[in-house]
Homo-oligomer: A and B are copies of this chain.
Amino acid sequence: MKQSQLFTKTRREAPADEVSKNAILLTRAGFINKELAGVYSLLPLGLRVVDKIKKIVSEEMEALGSVEFLMSTLQNKEIWEKTGRWSDEKVDVWFKSTLKSGSEVGFGWSHEEPITNLMTSHIASYHDLPVYVHQFQNKLRNEVRAKAGILRGREFLMKDMYSFARNEEEHMAFYNKATEAYLNVFRKVGLGDITYVTSASGGFFTDKFSHEFQTLCEAGEDTIYITDENGKVAVNGEVEKKGDPKKAVEVGNIFTFGTEKCEQMGLYFNDEKGNKTPVYLGSYGIGITRLMGVLAEVFGDDKGLVWPEAVAPFKVHLLSLSENSKKLADEAYEKLQAAGVEVLYDDRDARAGEKFADADLIGIPTRVVVGEKALASGMLEVKSRASGETRELPLKELINELA
C-alpha cells in the first residue's frame, strides 16, 4: 500500500489524555483512535495487526477441530436469567438497554449462556458430541474504570471458544490440547518466551481445571511467581506467593464449567445406555485486541512500535528519499508486491528525517531505503527495526530473501 493512500497521520506528541504506553504508541503511530474512555476504533494499520493475530488464532483453533460461528451482540434476558447471570449483582459489567416494546435487552460481555442455549437445538445424543466452536466477537463490558489503553477496555475483540463434551475425561483431553494450542498462539505472535501458564485464582473453579496465560509485562495488573521457567509454569500471586514477583498481563484463560451450566440451561444428551446426561462445558478466551496492546507494551521502545514478523501490518517499509530515486523506488515497490511481499511504500513528498521517524514509530520489521546512494550503487539500505542492524543488498537479493 502506498502511504499517500493511508489517511492516518502520525503524531509527534503523546495524546494528553493517555498515560499507558500501548495507547500512546498505537495512537501516535495511527493504529487506533480513542472514541471515549476505554473505547478505541481500529485504524487501517491496527486492523491489519488484528487480522494477522486472528489468522494465527484461527489456524490453531481449527487444528483443534473447532468450527467458527458468530453470535449476536444483543442478548436475550430470558436466557441469562436461567443461570442467574442477568443480575447486575452477579455480573457487574452488563450494558443494558430497552427495546421499543419496553422489554430489557443486554449487550454481550460473554457468550456461555447463549451458546449453551443454542446447542439445545443441535445436541441430543452421544453421537452429537463432542462439539467445539469458536468466534471472534466484539465484547462490550461496562467496566468501572477503563484503563491501560487497549489492555482493559469497555469494548474489545475476543476469541471465545466453547467445548461441549460427554464427560470429564473427554473434556480434559480437549482442555489439555487447547492449552498446547494456546501456547502455540503466544509463541507464534512472538510472546512465547515470556508467557506462562498459571493456575487461576479460585472462585468455584479448582486449580486443576482453570488456568490463565500470563505474559510478563510492566503494565500488567497481575503478579505472578514463576515456578518452572522451562515448563513456562507460574502461580498467580492471588493464589500463592513464592520467589520473585513479576508483573504480568492475562492474555488468555481456559475454564472448566463442568455440567452445572448445562443443567441450568437444559442441555442434556442421551448416552450410550439411553441415560439423560448433562453436557460437560468448557470455555477458552483470548483477548485479540489486548494482545495487540501487549505486543506494543513488550516490544515498543523509545522510538516507537516494534512488531514481530508474524503480526506486523506490513513486512517491509519502503522509503523513497528523493525525487531522483523515485523511479527506482517505484520499481522496488512493484517488484516486491509482485513477489507477494506486503509493503508499505512511503511515496510522500516529505523530508527524509520525517520518513525515518515515522518508520521507527510505525515499527514495520524491515525498512528499505531508496535514495541517492541506491541510485549510484544499485544497493538498497536494509535495516531491521528490532535489532537496528543495517545491510546493503541489491533489490533482487532482497526479494529472494523476503518472498
Q: Are A33 and B67 in contact (CB under 8 A)?
A: no
Assuming the contacts A67-B6, A123-B7, A142-B99, asked whether A36 and B73 have C-beta atoms less than 8 A apart, the reply is no
Q: Are B73 and A140 in contact (CB under 8 A)?
A: yes
Q: Are B40 and A122 in contact (CB under 8 A)?
A: no
* A69, CB-defined interface residue at 8 Å: yes
Q: Are B74 and A39 in contact (CB under 8 A)?
A: yes
Q: Are A122 and B8 in contact (CB under 8 A)?
A: yes
Assuming the contacts A7-B133, A118-B33, asked whether A68 and B44 have C-beta atoms less than 8 A apart, the reply is yes
Chain A: how many interface residues by the 8 Å CB criterion?
55
Contact mask for chain A residues 27-68; partner B; CB cutoff 8 A; 1 contact, 0 none: 000100101100111111011001000000000000001011
Q: How far is the CA of A75 from the CA of B39 in the complex (A)?
A: 9
Closest chain B residue, CB of each to CB of A43: B69
Residues on B with C-beta less than 8 A from A1 are: 67
Assuming the contacts A35-B72, A65-B5, A75-B35, asked whether A114 and B41 have C-beta atoms less than 8 A apart, the reply is yes
Q: How far is the CA of A7 from the CA of B46 in the complex (A)?
A: 33
Q: Could you tell me the distance in whole angstroms from the C-beta of A134 to the nearest C-beta in chain B?
A: 10
Residues on B with C-beta less than 8 A from A155 are: 72-74
> Which A137-151 residues have a C-beta within 8 angstroms of B?
138, 140, 142-145
Q: Could you tell me the distance in whole angstroms from the C-beta of A293 to the nearest C-beta in chain B?
A: 15
Q: How far is the CA of A65 from the CA of B6 in the complex (A)?
A: 10
Contact partner of A41 (CB less than 8 A), chosen from B33, B68, B118, is: B118
Closest chain B residue, CB of each to CB of A133: B7
Q: How far is the CA of A135 from the CA of B78 in the complex (A)?
A: 32
Closest chain B residue, CB of each to CB of A65: B5
Residues on B with C-beta less than 8 A from A176 are: none
Q: Are A36 and B74 in contact (CB under 8 A)?
A: yes
Q: Are A67 and B44 in contact (CB under 8 A)?
A: yes
* A105, CB-defined interface residue at 8 Å: yes
Q: Are A142 and B100 in contact (CB under 8 A)?
A: yes
- Leading 3 A-B pairs by shortest Cβ distance: A42-B70, A41-B71, A7-B131
List 27 contacting pairs A-B, 8 Å CB cutoff, sorted by A.
A1-B67, A7-B67, A7-B123, A7-B133, A8-B122, A33-B118, A35-B71, A35-B74, A35-B114, A40-B72, A41-B72, A44-B68, A44-B69, A44-B133, A46-B69, A47-B69, A73-B73, A73-B155, A74-B155, A95-B97, A95-B105, A97-B97, A97-B107, A97-B142, A99-B154, A100-B142, A100-B143
